[in-house]
A and B are shown apart, each in its own frame.
Chain A
Amino acid sequence: MAEATEFKAIGTRPVRPDGVDKVTGRAQFGADLNLPNMLYGKVLRSPHAHARIRRIDLDAARAMPGVHAVVSGADFPGAQHGEIGGEGGGDVADVAKNVMARDKVLYHGHPLAAVAATSQAIAEAALAAIEVEYEVLTPVLDLEAAMAPDAVLVNENCFTKNLPEPAEKPSNIASVMTLARGNVDEGFELADVIVEGEYRIPMAHQGYIEPHACTATVNESGQATVWTCTQGHFALRTQTANILDMSVADLKFIASEIGGGFGGKTVVYLEPVAVMLSTQARRPVKMVMSREEVFRASGPAAGSCAKIRVGAKKDGTITAATAWLAYEAGAFEGAPMGPGAMCVFAPYDLENFRVEGFDVLVNKPKVAAYRAPGAPQSMHAMESALDDLARELNMDPIDLRLKNAVAEGSQAAYGPKFPAIGFRECLEAAKAHPNYQKPVPEGAGRGVAAGFWFNAGMESSAEVHINEDGTVQIIEGSPDIGGSRASMALMAAETLGVPYEKIRVLVGDTEASGFNNVTGGSRTTFATGMAVIQACEDIIAQCKDRAAKTWGVDADQVEWEDGQAIPAPGVNAELKPLTLAEIMKTAARTGGPILGRAALNARGPGAGFSVNFGDLKVDRETGKVDVLSFTAIQDAGKAIHPAYVEGQMQGGAVQGLGWALNEEYIFDGNGVLENPGFLDYRIPVASDMPMIDTQIIEVPNPSHPFGVRGVGETPIVAPLAVAANAVRDAIGRRVHDLPLSPPNVLAAIEEG
């Protein structure tokens, strides 16, 4: 499909519509909004990782001059249970307690009260005046301790879900999951070689530059307006409504520009608190997290432990594989154990496998989505094991993967049959890539790994308005986090046949746009794009109708070509084509304004596969690992804006490499995070990274009119194992646990 079609707009690389305002500082981010009479809201956070709240005394804080509202858990209604939606798993009732603790605080930094005051200084003083009596409990801080039969319980009412028999006593294991096919015992018997390993990855943060921020104002009839930086203002509205027991009709959410989210801005932290404070104070309340609060109390990615066993024949055919995957959920259930378990073997055509997953409570912040949630952790283990296997078999690691790769028609390990996918194409491109042909530099090692993500569809709506001069206004509701306004405009330009420059895109608030689910799951260009395309098709149908009226012919005698209505072949050839501008000139007479719309639940997002490889140098005397080169190859289906697809691939590579090499939540034995800032939480900076080379593969997704697949998440998956495999290659020894920081790598070298 895509190869055959000549695109005009799609595949070009215009500047993004929001670019100028962003680089000149005009764009309004979460913390930029100020309202007259505004108060500053601040949160009191738990100094303990696990404690019962015996008593909270708010009186002294309330009595302070300049303090206009003080709330604690008791002021919030009990929330209904229900899925929170978006990419992060979890229950609304849990999110309610995460936003404001009730009887127990479950991690260091857990909110338990909040104030609104006329200045930040007064708000801080008021927090200090709140008296809290805690009964300090032993914190549960790692997977082993949490999963032990006699473990201290994070939540006394947590009974393991999905067990064959209902659980009789509470446990920190919130749920389990099993996926299996064939007979693994028999499969391992057939194997000539078996590799196994246990891999640990610490919690990591998405590291978005913009801290969470919102401003809420509630009027006298209880209607609230909330400005917030989020990946999904509709989802946050629903969550806030549930937590505060309000109607969504009384909540208007406006998404500001967003300075990064990567999955972390799909759940509420401040919004319900700001609404509550504003309700009490009857004034607008602004809340902005400090960087430290972001690290301690937003939603990092789950830490994990993965045990993997893979058996293969001499020719590389995998005969059996098992995975045991435990994820730290943090204080409430909802670690991405499900997706992690479903991804671990997804790229491979396996007859016999078994995956067990565990969602485990620990006294750490409740995790949230982070690009391809769950997949980097589990696939790091599998892709490391395959590397060991390739070594044992003396096979090229790409050949080993080719031998077992899924293709169109393969039954995915997680269930469905794959439609057209581009995994083999990525593997072949990697093998043929000039960077792969080059020898590995002295002192370095080369690592190869594959990545996978399902991608999501979900609900989107879009409207397209034709302005009176024929220019085009798109209104949709998916916050633009990676250039989606440009993608929408390009797809509209292609569909309508008008130039990109004549199209404007509004990310509408919850009152201006139809419902759009979160910008997450790599779904926006795919699903919201599909809504935009359909809304444009609606416009075309109406324009043909208007042209038919103007010309006095039937609508089916009009065709649409290059942004103009033209008479169909055989119809009066004298008729001059009508452009959008011309149609609009007479629109009042032919039926009034022209507005197209579409609302859908997009199906068939099209799985995303990648193959990455890189050369990493290890200093054997210091343990320092440097990335010398890195190549990311990924199937995008169809790259609507190739530069932004490459940007996703490069950004994902850098985040994955950061997680592999240096990023980690460093907790002490009391459950206190010791590196809640960018100095000690070490994301890579520009000088740490080489240019990331990219190659886009285009195997069109049959479910999308232009063949689009999501591209935002797959890129972070493979780099973890690429780094681990390269270090293995360089030092002749596998370091199973991440990060591959100097202390850890040096320790491994010293041991060996």
Chain B
Amino acid sequence: MAAHDVMPDIELFQPVTVEDASAIARRLEGRGWVLAGGQDTYGWLKDRAKTATAMIDLGTIEALSGIEETADGVRIGAMTTLRTVSRDPLIRERYALLAEAAGKVASPQIRNQGTLGGNVAQDTRCWYYRRGLSCYRAGGNICYADSPEGMNREHAILGASRCVAVSPSDTGTALVALDAVMVIQNGGSVRRVPAAKFFVGPAVNITHMTVLREGDILTAIELPAAWAGAEHYFEKVADRDVWDFALVSIAAAFRTSGNAIEDARLVCGAVSCVPHRLNAVERAVIGRPRSEETAESVAGLASQGAKPLNFNHFKAPLMENLVKRALRS
């Protein structure tokens, strides 16, 4: 049992280029840990639930911070703090969905320190996994949360596969809804991954929540012009209003023409291992107005296929209710 509350001895690298950061990460292999704002990192290390012995601090790489307009939208450096994302005038004007989501993360203190990159790359909060138990996600062969004795009020009702942990990121849902693109650099090569593919479920990879691998540095997140200024809805339901993870959250974006929805994205957080796109709802609302009637008629599609565990039956109606709210204008 963790009797710590203090950091272990650890080496610190402070590269000034992405290439160097990537190279150091590859050289250190498993013992290295990429450090952004540290808000997820320090918990893991203080609890000794992960055993990195060196940190590669991205804080010294200036190119990773900041928000800029591009030919096709806006580009946010991965090291931009959540506070900045939530308050930046450009983001608020064009991608208010993301600004709102970022503003709901944790607490003001954590948003001052935590970064957008760290927020999407953070690991799951499953309390068994975080206790350092050797579960599927940690390379073992059991899921404690989904055992008869498991306490799983905060776990997945959708998309589970052996592991029932959920994606904790509040900004992840918004980024998926906005068709964001994650820019990842490894050594000299850069690849662009759509947000929806950046997050991976246990059926694809049970030990990683994202596509990031050794040497990968998430450098930026691009928001396409296509969703700029779209109608949106964000809500996060948690036990406590601040300093708490979502029980269920929703990020929705709508492009409308006249009264009718032309294109929609509805994404729920904390119900699945990835930000969970409500494809059936999205299809069903095309051509209809945002209204109480639409809300009532499609909400039931939201939790289709849900498999609640012993203690999280509330998540299905909660998803449906949040979908209704998103669809009422």
A positions within 8 Å CB-CB of B: 42-43, 45, 47, 109, 120-121, 124, 127, 289-293, 296, 621-624, 626, 662, 666-670, 674-675, 679-680, 682, 684-685, 687-688, 741-744, 746-747, 750
Contacts and interface: CB of A to CB of B under 8 A. Distances in A.
A109 B2 CA distance: 10
Nearest to B151: A668
Given A293-B1, A743-B153, A682 B237 contact: no
Contacts of B238: 742
A125 B147 CA distance: 31
B306 interface: no
B228 interface: no
Contacts of B244: 679, 682
A669 B314 contact: no
Contact of B151 (A622, A623, A662, A674): A674
Given A744-B314, A746-B317, 14 more contacts: A45-B1, A109-B1, A290-B4, A623-B314, A668-B150, A669-B147, A669-B151, A679-B245, A685-B107, A685-B240, A688-B240, A742-B237, A742-B238, A743-B312
A669 B151 CA distance: 7
B239 A291 contact: no
Contacts of B243: 679, 685
Contacts of B1: 45, 47, 109, 292-293, 296
A596 B311 CA distance: 62
A316 B150 CA distance: 47
A684 B314 contact: no
A688 B321 CA distance: 23
Given A124-B3, A293-B3, A666-B153, A687 B241 contact: yes
A670 B149 CA distance: 6
Interface in B1-53: 1-6, 8-9
A290 B144 CA distance: 24
Q: Which 6 pairs show the lowest CB-CB distances between chains A and B?
A: A669-B149, A668-B151, A621-B321, A743-B314, A290-B5, A622-B237
A38 to B, nearest CB: 16
B239 A685 contact: no
Contacts of B147: 669
B142 to A, nearest CB: 13
B247 interface: yes
Interface of B is mostly: loop
A747 B310 CA distance: 13
Nearest to B247: A742
A256 to B, nearest CB: 18
Contacts of A622: 237, 318, 321-322
Interface string B135-169: 00000000010011111010000000000000000
Given A687-B242, A743-B314, A746-B317, A680 B127 contact: yes
Contacts of A746: 314, 317-318
Given A666-B153, A742-B314, A747-B313, A291 B5 contact: yes
A683 to B, nearest CB: 9
26 contacts: A42-B3, A43-B3, A120-B4, A120-B6, A121-B9, A127-B3, A290-B2, A292-B1, A624-B237, A667-B151, A668-B150, A669-B147, A669-B150, A674-B127, A675-B127, A679-B243, A685-B107, A687-B242, A742-B238, A742-B247, A742-B314, A743-B239, A746-B314, A746-B317, A747-B313, A750-B317
Contact of B241 (A124, A291, A670, A688): A688
B151 A666 contact: yes
Given A109-B1, A746-B314, A750-B317, A621 B241 contact: no
A47 B144 CA distance: 15
Nearest to A675: B127
A682 B239 contact: yes
B76 to A, nearest CB: 26
B7 to A, nearest CB: 11
Nearest to B235: A622
A290 B8 contact: no
B8 A121 contact: yes
B282 to A, nearest CB: 21
A621 B324 contact: yes
A570 B47 CA distance: 78
Contacts of B314: 623, 742-744, 746-747, 750
A47 B150 CA distance: 16
Interface residues of B, number: 37
Most chain B CB neighbours (cut-off 10 Å) among A43, A621, A670, A674: A674
Contacts of B232: none
B325 interface: yes
A685 B322 CA distance: 25
Contact of A662 (B4, B239, B317, B318): B239
Given A621-B324, A621-B325, A666-B151, A743 B3 contact: no
Interface in B236-256: 237-245, 247
A150 B124 CA distance: 41
B8 to A, nearest CB: 7
A504 B206 CA distance: 63
A426 B9 CA distance: 57
A666 B239 CA distance: 13
B188 to A, nearest CB: 39
A666 B318 CA distance: 21
A626 B241 CA distance: 9
Given A292-B1, A670-B149, A750-B317, A684 B240 contact: yes
Given A621-B324, A666-B153, A746-B318, A741 B5 contact: no
A741 B318 CA distance: 13
Nearest to B152: A668
Contacts of A626: 241
Nearest to A141: B149
Interface string B201-229: 00000000000000000000000000000
B52 to A, nearest CB: 16
A662 to B, nearest CB: 5
Nearest to A746: B314
Nearest to B314: A743
Contacts of A679: 243-245
B166 to A, nearest CB: 14
A733 to B, nearest CB: 15
Nearest to B4: A290
B240 A669 contact: no
A672 to B, nearest CB: 8
A132 B207 CA distance: 31
Nearest to B144: A668
A662 B237 CA distance: 13
Nearest to B2: A292
A675 B311 CA distance: 15
B35 to A, nearest CB: 20
A292 B132 CA distance: 14
A693 to B, nearest CB: 21
B108 to A, nearest CB: 10
A741 B242 CA distance: 14
B57 to A, nearest CB: 22
A669 B247 CA distance: 21
A17 to B, nearest CB: 31
